[in-house]
Amino acid sequence: MITTSSSLLSQRALQRARQAMACLPFTREFYQVLEEEALSSTGLVARPDWGELCCQPLAASRIEDDFIWLIQLGVLRREVDGQGLTERVRLTPMGRECLSCWTGAIPRASLPQRLHHWLRRYRPRL
């Protein structure tokens, strides 16, 4: 019985993570880069190919906010070096599982999905 409830919880977590990935401005290529290497928000802004990794131009502070949200959802994790956590992030196994659901580009979320995501992110107690 416990495995059923835990699998239900993990399915809900995956659904939340997939919805966030569809609502945020990052492309599939962004997540594929994070599979191979760690990346910081300032590093993303400085990359010459940022246009392929994001659907819209973003400031480093906005990217960092999105990173924190994806960390809370379990899609990303901070990279650790010899002195502790760094500002760079990597894709988690859960993030890889979410990414495997789509064969091509991550489909953009509809307006109702975006509204639901916004409420979940900024007004979670409503």
What is the block-wise mean pLDDT of the chain (126 residues), using blocks of 10 residues? Answer: 60 92 95 94 91 89 95 94 86 93 91 94 86
User: Is the C-alpha dihedral spanning 64, 69, 50, 96 positive or negative?
Assistant: positive
Question: pTM value?
Answer: 0.87
> Which domain does 117 fall in, by range?
2-122
The CATH number linked to 54 is: 1.10.10.10
Domain count along the chain: 1
